[in-house]
Amino acid sequence: MSTVSTYLSDSKGPIFLSINIQSLQSKYEQLKTQISELLFKGVKIDVLAIQETWEVRYTDLFDIPGFQRFICKTREGMRGGGVGFYVRDGLNYEILPVLSPYENKIIESLTIKLIYPKKKDVLLSCVYRSNGVIPGVTAAQQIERFTTKFEELLENISQKKLSSYILMDSNIDLLNLNSLNATTFLDTITSKGYMQCIHI
């Protein structure tokens, strides 16, 4: 944690963190403790994006000091998945439903606009692609539908003419460039002006 806090403390721009938590309910106390430690060490986190929230019935039960109430979109009639954001106190934001396509196990997303005083607004999208089995749908059909919907999302975001960041878990092995899924994904994001970045 000390290495992470040192790295983040040196950041010159806004800090957006992203994590696949695999059930916010079961990992909530651990998450709250780790984020509180970062805040105590002077790390100013603007937004925390969460993938695989799983079921979140009452968002007020998952408050983290220094952040506004958790906002999320979760699956209906199906376990797992879900995406959401913690936005720090004092930072205004707007949820953008038109830029938040959500289809269970295909593409699960939530997009917000951060409103910075005296600075240009910023778009943030939290996206999750499940690699779980869908009855009656092949893996190839599943990834094809995701690619189509994701490309549409990136195109719609680009029309807003704002800086934007996609915080996601795609469940695509980008180290395997012999994979059609990986090359298609990378071609999709680069064609829309994005760069894949992974910081640990």
Q: Taking 80 as the threshold, does the pLDDT of residue 165 lie above it?
A: yes
Mean pLDDT of the chain: 92
pLDDT, position 197: 82
Strands (E), the chain: 15-20, 45-51, 71-73, 83-87, 92-95, 102-103, 107-115, 122-128, 163-169
Q: Taking 60 as the threshold, does the pLDDT of residue 68 lie above it?
A: yes
The answer to whether 95 and 110 are in contact (CB under 8 A) is yes
Q: What's the CATH fold of domain 2-191?
A: Deoxyribonuclease I; Chain A (3.60.10)
pLDDT, position 118: 84
Query: What is the pLDDT confidence band of residue 119, given thresholds at 50, 70 and 90?
Result: confident
pLDDT, position 4: 57
Mean pLDDT to the nearest integer, 16-23: 96
pLDDT, position 77: 85
How do the domains of the chain map onto residue ranges?
A: 2-191
The answer to whether 156 and 192 are in contact (CB under 8 A) is no
Mean pLDDT to the nearest integer, 152-162: 95
Residues facing residue 127 across a β-bridge: 109, 168
Which DSSP state fits 69? P
Of residues 175 and 158, the one with the higher pLDDT is 158
Which tens digits make up the pLDDT trace of 177-187?
889 999 999 99
Residues facing residue 114 across a β-bridge: 93, 122
Query: What is the pLDDT confidence band of residue 196, given thresholds at 50, 70 and 90?
Result: confident
Burial of 54 from C-beta contacts in 10 A (0-12 / 13-18 / 19+): middle
pLDDT, position 174: 87
